[in-house]
Chains A and B, each alone.
Chain A
């Protein structure tokens, strides 16, 4: 990805932008990005080994962390200008998350976990989503008794249930074999394509590279 074509595309359909971002941790600069954009409905793979800063970058893009230097803007809104509560609201309305360890709330049912993503869950939409993910009939099961595969799909369902405009996924396939990796990748791509959401995946798993048009490769 070069800077110039990206900027031209922004003008048309860029939705999330990073400008002159610098971030340090432990006195070491881990990120120094002049410009990076995600298109509306686009796909971005942040690829790199452990410690390269890809997870930090993902957290900064998703508004889970504040940038030390530089700007992150979503839909023309600079995170720096938002109060903490406003940033919470932005995440709630516009973003979905798939965490590496899934982090379903164990004492809640699968359906309750999925409905957590939105204050006004669209139940018809969620029913259809769960059916597509093969989770029909599992709605009432407590999250802590789901198999790993079911939990993985439930986590993806939760990330999509609020109809986000960007879905962020952190190492979604790190613990999976090739077949499951392919299945999860397809789910993420198909579901975001269906809803028109952008997809940003941070991973060290090169197996995902073929699924993305381009990857933002980072060095340690």
Chain B
């Protein structure tokens, strides 16, 4: 009989205690794994959404809110900025690329973003079907929206579901985008003009109807009513924010300073703002991490208690094995295997639960659905090693005690 089978048979002889130890280990591992995956996915997501954007410029208010609303589309904007002012900065020599954004409406919770085609391209978005917009009220839908080319929809006022519908202004989907794993997947993109016109503004002093047919004229008319209904007035065009890629590290420092000093706008550094935010939610992550470590330690203690307790009843068995010629080393191994096996089972179950459970949870978090890091992470290897080591440690002491068992001399077994 192989030593490992002896270990397994001994575990099978006390199923309940073994099962408990396995479950306890599995829960610890599962929790650690979910925390790790969630942290990794969020960080990857933040990094991808924020990549290449050095400065976010918007209305005065909280820089964090500006970054969250304009870069991650996770908050409402603090206000609008005059397009004329924005353009001044977009043409600044230290700006390599600038993407103006006009927010205000949504379709079923997907934000309708007035911007330039370059914004989509910045995130590597390619057209899956159809084409990019060419006229106002043509829209390109991100991969998660479920819209298909040819579909018509109206935007609802506000950035979350349930706002007043701009019923008179229907957008036509002219293209859909391939998944990018970035925020663009959850956006509906259109021209800057579309959004501004809808809210009673124009990029141009006089809206020219040259390239629009009669239908467009009708919309123009309707939109006036719409604007009045919201209490908007015609004004010089306002947009929401600009995302800026600067010409280099020095510009990253200088440009925000000039913007903050010499205009009514603020410039926020996304990396800095997100670092501040991470510092806050990092506490939560760390707490969950500590709880998982505590659970795993508790599981190791459970393994120790189970094996140490069973040794009390196995003294005679071990002494008989010694008499049958089992060396102390073999007895040590047999008991050690028990702990490692329990830890390994708990680890396997925990990995399955952690990966599966996270997959299920992410299904309810659209923001992490695409490109969520479900693949192997180096930290998992460390987690696995730590759990196996805990099992080894938990069984090492009882194993040492087992190894010290003297062979059953005939007297002692009477």
Give A contacts to B, CB under 8 Å.
Answer: 55-56, 58-59, 62, 64-65, 84-85, 88-93, 95, 97, 99-101, 103, 105, 107-108, 112, 115-117, 121, 170, 202
CB of B408 within 8 A of CB of A64, answer: yes
Enumerate chain A residues within 8 angstroms of B410, measured Cβ to Cβ. 55, 58-59, 62, 64, 99-100, 170, 202
**Smallest CB-CB separation from B322: which chain A residue?**
A88
**How many whole Å from A200's CB to the nearest CB in chain B?**
11
Q: Are A117 and B324 in contact (CB under 8 A)?
A: yes
B5: A residues at CB distance < 8 A: 112
Query: Is A112 within 8 A of B1, CB to CB?
Result: yes
* With A58-B410, A99-B320, A101-B413: A92-B325 Cβ-Cβ less than 8 Å: yes
Given A112-B9, A115-B1, CB of A99 within 8 Å of CB of B408: yes
Evaluate whether A97 and B324 lie within 8 angstroms (CB atoms) in the complex, with A105-B317, A107-B9 already known.
yes
For B2, give the chain A residue with the smallest CB separation: A119
Tell me the residues in window 370-414 of chain B with beta carbons closer than 8 Å to chain A beta carbons: 407-411, 413-414
B400 to chain A, nearest CB (A): 16
How many chain B residues sit at the interface, stated as a range, is: 20 to 34
Chain B residue contacts of A58, Cβ below 8 A: 410
* A42 CB, min distance to chain B CBs, angstroms: 20
List of 9 A-B pairs having minimum Cβ-Cβ separation, nearest first:
A92-B325, A107-B13, A59-B409, A91-B325, A170-B410, A64-B409, A55-B410, A103-B320, A88-B327
- CB interface residues, B 232-258, toward A, < 8 Å: none
A85 pairs with B327, CB closer than 8 A = yes
Of B326, B411, B413, which contacts A103 at CB under 8 A?
Answer: B413
What is the bound-complex CA distance between A65 and B323, given in angstroms?
10
Contact status B407-A64, CB under 8 Å: yes
Smallest beta-carbon distance A204→chain B, Å: 13
Asked if B148 is at the interface (CB within 8 A of a chain A CB), the reply is no
Shortest C-beta distance, A53 to chain B (Å), equals: 10
Task: Kindly identify which residue among A89, A103, A107, A121 contacts B325, using a CB–CB cutoff of 8 Å.
Answer: A89
Residues in B with CB closer than 8 Å to A116 are 1, 321, 324
How close is B4's CB to chain A, nearest CB, in angstroms?
Answer: 13
A94 to chain B, nearest CB (A): 9
Q: Is B145 an interface residue (CB 8 A)?
A: no
From residue A115, how far is it (CB to closest CB) to chain B in Å?
5
- How near does chain B come to A218, taking the closest CB pair, in angstroms? 15
Contact residues in B for A100 (Cβ distance below 8 Å): 410, 413-414
Q: Tell me if A91 and B321 are in contact (CB < 8 A).
A: no
Q: At the interface, yes or no: B361 with Cβ under 8 Å from chain A?
A: no
Q: For the complex, give the distance between the alpha carbons of A97 and B326 in Å.
A: 13
Q: Which residues of the partner chain B approach A93 to less than 8 Å between Cβ atoms? A: 325
Chain B residues whose CB sits within 8 angstroms of the CB of A103 once the complex forms:
316-317, 320, 408, 413
List the A side residues contacting B324 at CB < 8 Å.
91-92, 97, 116-117
Q: How far is the CB of B12 from chain A (nearest CB, A)?
A: 7
Tell me the minimal C-beta distance from A132 to chain B in angstroms.
21
Q: How far is the CA of A142 from the CA of B29 in the complex (A)?
A: 35
Chain B nearest Cβ from A99, distance in angstroms: 5
Alpha-carbon distance A97/B5, docked complex (angstroms): 22
**Across-interface contacts of B409 in A (CB, < 8 A):** 55-56, 59, 64-65
7 more A-B residue pairs beyond the given contacts A84-B327, A107-B10, with a C-beta to C-beta distance below 8 A? A55-B410, A55-B411, A64-B407, A88-B326, A91-B323, A108-B1, A112-B9
Question: Could you show 15 A-B contacts with beta carbons less than 8 Å apart?
Answer: A59-B409, A62-B410, A64-B409, A64-B410, A88-B325, A92-B326, A93-B325, A99-B408, A101-B414, A103-B316, A103-B413, A107-B10, A107-B13, A116-B324, A170-B410
Q: A117 to B5, alpha carbons, bound, how many Å? A: 14
Q: Note all chain A residues with C-beta closer than 8 A to B10.
A: 107
Contacts of A115 in B (CB 8 A): 1
Cα(A62)–Cα(B413), bound, Å: 15
Select the residue from B320, B323, B327, B410 with max chain A CB neighbours within 10 A: B410
Closest beta carbon of chain A to B187's beta carbon, Å: 63
Which residue of the partner chain, among A59, A107, A202, contacts B12 with CB atoms under 8 Å? A107
Could you say which residues of chain B place their CB within 8 Å of the CB of A97? 323-324
CB distance from A220 to the nearest CB of B (A): 16
Cα of A8 to Cα of B160 in the assembled complex, Å: 106
CB-CB under 8 A from B13, the residues of chain A are 107
Indicate the member of B325, B328, B329, B411 with the most A CB atoms within 10 Å.
B325
CA distance A94 to B224 in the complex (A): 105
A64 to B326, CA, bound (A): 12
CB-CB under 8 A from A101, the residues of chain B are 413-414
